[in-house]
Amino acid sequence: MSTAVSAYERLRAAHLHTVQAALIDHIGRLDWSREEIERHQTHRLRALLGYAKERSTFHSSRLSDIDPATATVADLASVPMMTKQDAQNEWDSIVTVNDLDRAQAERILAEQQWFSYTPGDEQIFSSGGSSGVRGVYVWDWNYYVSAACLAWRVQAREELRTQGNGPARLAVLAAGTPPHASTPLFDVPTAAGMETAVIPVGVPFDEILAAVAAAQPTHMVGYASVIGRLARAASAGELKISPVRVSTNSEPLLDEDRQAIRDAWSVPVHNLWGSTEIGVQAVGCARGEGLHVCEDEVVLERVDENGMPVGPDEPAVRTLATGLANRTFPFIRYDLGDQVTWLPDPCPCGSAFARVADIGGRRDDDFQYGTITVPASAFRYVLGTDPRVSEYQVTQTVGGADILTVGSPDITTLTAAVVTALRAQGLSDPAIRIQITDRLRRHEATGKLRRFVPLPSQG
């Protein structure tokens, strides 16, 4: 193990102890009343607004009409929306610490061979996400603790209720390597003595299958589509494991994948909706429909085209999120790019936290080449983390893909990286053509961009 990895693991061990201590408080929050949730949310919001107004030049001007000492969620409507481009173009004026800027963040991403901490205990991540707009993000020490607790507190409560059922082993099906935040966030033990194994999902599925079989996990967490595929393999007799709990994230959990998991293992499924920017926005309880919004650490607003809140029964154009935990890089009224629907009825689990319907999605981001399926993540891992690619669009061809990029990438190097990624998925000789363009064409009416365009025969 290298010196850099060893140093990271030592500091991460301290970080995980902080998470375990904080989980006790977070588990208690799950039983809060509406009054307790709203009181806590208001105090957290005022703290964030006050800090951001004083320490971030970007937010100082946006919050000029807000008095943080008396602000409520309703007052957020007077603050302009924050976009993905704002977050990247205004990086240095958003960040609230003096010893960190975008250039330094990019150097850290370029030089690290494994995950790392800055001298100020921040972690730097990069992601192309589902939007295809590359982003660089900073998580401070306390923000990571918050995100990890939100991701795991429901499951941790269940583990406390069922402890003593034998040794626990967690398989983490995630990106596996920097600069993606998924591995540090989900490689968290939720039971005493739990062992964890990180299994990268960018390798051929046969290798994933073998790694999971070797790990014999009692618990699994990872990309919904990957776990769904593992469940189908288990039902076909190709995988012999007996998990007692499954958690899905990073992609929409489609009905067919949820059903495949139930058919294979008959286990509780905890779905998670999150983002690198905000962290964890909502988590399923595995007892009722939809996801419980993490209202103690995030404010969600359904808004119209002008950014004004709409009623629960009114149509919304977008969802804005204000993350209450990240003081180093605050996201206030940030456009997530997702649309959500509130669920009005009480959840059978008894929680007072509001619920939203599961976030919808389409599987046709994946490309089919004969019998070979190439997941969209194979492209995202390469295109979404190249610092010289600000945005991209991938159009499938018979033998590969045509890719449009905005930015100034080294086309030769980038093409080779994409070819390598597709070969790992079983496509032996992919034909990849990459072109640089000033901008990508979006739908004239909606302004949306289809990031992955399959061949017509695929829909």
56-94 pLDDT, tens digit per residue, is 999 999 999 999 999 999 999 999 999 988 999 999 999
Question: Which residues fall within 8 angstroms of residue 352, CB to CB, at 6 or more apart?
Answer: 32, 33, 34, 37
- Going by the DSSP 8-state scheme, the letter that residue 309 receives in this structure is B
Domain containing residue 447: CATH number = 3.30.300.30
Mean pLDDT over 443-458 rounds to 63
Cβ neighbours, 10 Å, residue 99: 10
* Model confidence band, residue 444 (pLDDT cutoffs 50, 70, 90): very low
Asked if 378 contacts 425 with a C-beta cutoff of 8 angstroms, the reply is yes
Is the pLDDT at 268 greater than 80? The verdict is yes
Q: Which residue range forms the structural domain that includes residue 443?
A: 363-458
Within-domain flag for 172: no
pLDDT of residue 198: 94
pLDDT of residue 125: 94
111-155 residue pLDDT tens:
988 999 999 999 999 886 555 567 899 999 999 999 999 999 999
pLDDT of residue 231: 92
Highest averaged pLDDT of the listed ranges 17-26, 226-235, 383-392? 17-26
Closest CA to 330 of 299, 294, 295, 291: 299
pLDDT of residue 447: 37
pLDDT of residue 347: 95
Within-domain flag for 374: yes
Is the pLDDT at 374 greater than 70? The verdict is yes
pLDDT of residue 189: 93
* Model confidence band, residue 443 (pLDDT cutoffs 50, 70, 90): very low
406-438 residue pLDDT tens:
889 999 999 999 999 999 999 999 999 999 998
* Model confidence band, residue 363 (pLDDT cutoffs 50, 70, 90): very low
Three-state secondary structure call for residue 348: coil
CA distances to 20, 133, 149 from 153, rounded to whole Å, are: 10, 30, 5
Is the pLDDT at 381 greater than 90? The verdict is no
Asked if 292 contacts 283 with a C-beta cutoff of 8 angstroms, the reply is yes
Mean pLDDT, the chain, rounded, equals 90
Mean pLDDT over 193-211 rounds to 89
pLDDT of residue 448: 45
Mean pLDDT over 224-241 rounds to 90
Mean pLDDT over 276-297 rounds to 95
CA distance 18 to 330: 22
Which region among 25-39, 248-262, 441-455 has the lowest average model confidence (pLDDT)?
Answer: 441-455
Mean pLDDT over 41-62 rounds to 98
pLDDT of residue 232: 87
Tell me the backbone φ, ψ of residue 91, rounded to 5 degrees: -50, -50
287-330 residue pLDDT tens:
999 999 999 999 999 998 888 999 888 888 889 999 999 999 99
Mean pLDDT over 89-108 rounds to 96
Asked if 129 contacts 135 with a C-beta cutoff of 8 angstroms, the reply is yes
Within-domain flag for 450: yes
Pairing mode, strands 318-323 and 298-303: antiparallel
Percentage with pLDDT > 70 across the chain? 94
* Model confidence band, residue 339 (pLDDT cutoffs 50, 70, 90): confident
Is the pLDDT at 459 greater than 60? The verdict is no
CA distance 376 to 419: 14
pLDDT of residue 316: 84
Asked if 393 contacts 400 with a C-beta cutoff of 8 angstroms, the reply is no
Within-domain flag for 434: yes
pLDDT of residue 458: 56
Asked if 252 contacts 358 with a C-beta cutoff of 8 angstroms, the reply is yes
Lookup: tokens for 23: 């989980």
Region of residue 430 (phi > 0: left; psi between -120 and 50: alpha; otherwise: beta): beta
Burial class (CB within 10 angstroms; exposed 0-12, middle 13-18, buried 19+) of 133: buried
Closest CA to 158 of 259, 244, 70, 223: 244
Instruction: Calculate the CA dihedral of residues 249, 255, 259, 260 and round it to 10 degrees.
Output: -70
Structural domains of the chain, count: 1
Within-domain flag for 251: no
CA distances to 56, 71, 79, 83 from 46, rounded to whole Å, are: 15, 6, 14, 22
Asked if 213 contacts 241 with a C-beta cutoff of 8 angstroms, the reply is yes
Mean pLDDT over 380-408 rounds to 87
Which region among 24-28, 136-140, 358-362 has the lowest average model confidence (pLDDT)?
Answer: 358-362
Which region among 95-109, 316-330, 406-420, 441-455 has the lowest average model confidence (pLDDT)?
Answer: 441-455
Within-domain flag for 447: yes
